[in-house]
Amino acid sequence: MIPVQAVEGQTIAVLGLGRSGRATAAALAAGGAQVVAWDDGADTRQAAEAEGLRIADLTRDANWHGVTALITSPGIPHLYPAPHPAILKACQLGIPVDNDIGLFFRSYATEDWQGFDRTPKVIAVTGSNGKSTVTALIHHILQEAGRPTQMGGNIGTGVLSLEPACDGEVVVLELSSYQTDLARSLTPDVAVFTNLSPDHLDRHGGQGGYFAAKRRLFAEGGPDRAVIGVDEVEGMFLAGQMQMGPADDRVIRVSSGQKLDQAAWSVFARKGYLAEYRKGRQAGSIDLRAITGLPGEHNHQNACAAYAACRAVGLAPRQIEAAFHSFPGLPHRSQTVAEIGGVRYVNDSKATNVDAALKALNAFERIRWIAGGMGKDGGISLLAPALGRVAKAYLIGHSARDFALQLGDTPYEIAETLDQAVAHASADAASGDTVLLAPAAASFDQYPNFEKRGEHFMELVEALAG
């Protein structure tokens, strides 16, 4: 646990008592604060009270007496589409609102660091797609290189549940827009922006607000190095804002598809090869085509971002390349589950939006595509360029019929459930085909989350394998 600093003797309110909320309450108490907590769920409140937390309804004025700050969980809206009543109350009373990410950045460095030979560092990763893979890949590379490292944030361990820093450690954090939007302190040593595509627009009041939430990771703290994907206009704009001029190598530009040999420092992938350029000269190259844990152009972009972040903390190209080959990939993200009779089964349940699904479709040929669920605004019309790779679509869930109307001449069937989709796709598939779960939709119509959907797919494939 990382005790929160500069809170001793204060009364601090915590809103939301899920995993991060309970960890936040414990870290505040460890720092000497008096904690008052609230959650909208009666069962959650009861469980927290049984653990010794003081529960008080934060929508009532009487319970704010003496409170100096409100710490809220990331899933609770603080502005759009409407602020939670307790957050609105804090704003009306002039009480600052923060989250666990802000507490982490102001509490991670301690006096103990003066005795370290190598100062600990924080790498923070944000973006629309690929940030979990990039975070896990950086962490894996650091482990393989023998560097002390921890991973947390939106993946793995909550930030305040991490262990205090040790000499030379690198903490790797995945940060969602919900987390970066509100944190009052954001000071990573290396900040990574993977890409941007429309997502969570209701929470951020539109695409501009969504980008602004991501941009705060770079604008608020001024990282020593910024690794920025420039395949969208927002990334190009952000890179330009962070650089003092063309020769400023504090920004490492990253691309999958563009040759970036004129930038001060860049890492890009083309035709399956990663290349690093510094001041117009090639400094490293890796053949990505045989790395099974990173299939497709979208994972080549992830590899470039992870490579750049690891170079920024002093790792050598050969160390990074060796670790690439041992990276197993993440569950539910272009994860090869099995190969049965020459048919490859791939679980990309995390492809919950059109941009992620497009990248998954572009990674394979002769696809038996399982898609559907709770579709998002705009449908799947933007997937048209990749539909030539689809032999047949098997549509499930709430949006199955809406998706069918946007498939053009692509063969399809309404399978309704994942069980039927897997059964029918496997029956139709021939050697060389790929049965791909890349839903382009949320899971909430049939599953509590994308993980459960992916796990069900894996169970069905394993049953096929016998």
Distance CA 272, CA 305 (A): 15
Is there a domain that residue 2 lies in? no
147 and 221 housed in the same domain:
yes
Domain end call among 64, 82, 98: 98
Ligand-binding annotation for 133, yes or no, is yes
Is there a domain that residue 330 lies in? no
Q: pLDDT digit string (tens) for 409-433?
A: 999 999 999 999 999 999 999 999 9
Q: pLDDT digit string (tens) for 129-162?
A: 889 999 999 999 999 999 999 999 999 899 999 9
Write the CATH number for 395. 3.90.190.20
Is there a domain that residue 288 lies in? yes
Task: Quote the domain boundaries for residue 229.
Answer: 103-325
**What is the mean predicted confidence (pLDDT) over 182-205?**
93
29 and 75 housed in the same domain:
yes
259: its two tokens: 């040759």
137 and 241 housed in the same domain:
yes
Distance CA 15, CA 11 (A): 13
| Radius of gyration of the chain, Cα coordinates, nearest whole angstrom | 23
Ligand-binding annotation for 229, yes or no, is no
Write the CATH number for 36. 3.40.50.720
Is there a domain that residue 5 lies in? no
Ligand-binding annotation for 347, yes or no, is no
Distance CA 217, CA 125 (A): 9
At 373, the pLDDT band (50, 70, 90 cuts) reads very high
Residue 417: CB atoms within 10 Å: 14
281 and 304 housed in the same domain:
yes
Domain end call among 66, 82, 98: 98
Is there a domain that residue 265 lies in? yes
Ligand-binding annotation for 128, yes or no, is yes
Q: Are strands 225-229 and 190-193 parallel, antiparallel or unpaired?
A: parallel
Ligand-binding annotation for 341, yes or no, is no
Instruction: Give residues with Cβ within 8 angstroms of 413, minimum separation 6.
Output: 392, 393, 394, 395, 424
Question: Residues 306, 364, 446, 426: what is their CA dihedral angle, to the nearest 10 degrees?
Answer: -140
396 and 366 housed in the same domain:
yes
64 and 208 housed in the same domain:
no
Percent of the chain at pLDDT > 90 equals 89
Ligand-binding annotation for 130, yes or no, is yes
Is there a domain that residue 133 lies in? yes
How many domains is the chain partitioned into structurally? 3
117 and 262 housed in the same domain:
yes
Task: Please state at what angle helix 296-312 crosses helix 131-144, rounded to 10 degrees.
Answer: 50
Ligand-binding annotation for 266, yes or no, is no
* Residue-level pLDDT at 56: 96
413 and 306 housed in the same domain:
no
Q: Are strands 11-15 and 67-72 parallel, antiparallel or unpaired?
A: parallel
223 and 140 housed in the same domain:
yes
Is there a domain that residue 6 lies in? no
* Residue-level pLDDT at 168: 96
Q: pLDDT digit string (tens) for 262-304?
A: 899 999 999 999 999 999 999 999 999 989 889 888 899 999 9
Give the residue among 230, 258, 234, 263 at the shortest CA–CA distance from 246: 263
pTM for this one?
A: 0.86
Domain end call among 73, 98, 123: 98
175 and 189 housed in the same domain:
yes
Write the CATH number for 145. 3.40.1190.10
At residue 454, does pLDDT exceed 90?
Answer: yes
Is there a domain that residue 420 lies in? yes
At residue 248, does pLDDT exceed 90?
Answer: yes
At residue 329, does pLDDT exceed 90?
Answer: no
443 and 407 housed in the same domain:
yes
What separation in angstroms does the CA of 36 have from each of 1, 49, 72, 148, 424? 19, 10, 12, 35, 53
* Residue-level pLDDT at 285: 96
427 and 318 housed in the same domain:
no
Between CA 30 and CA 28, with CA 101 as vertex, the angle to 5 degrees is: 15
Helix (H, G, I), strand (E, B) or coil at 136: helix
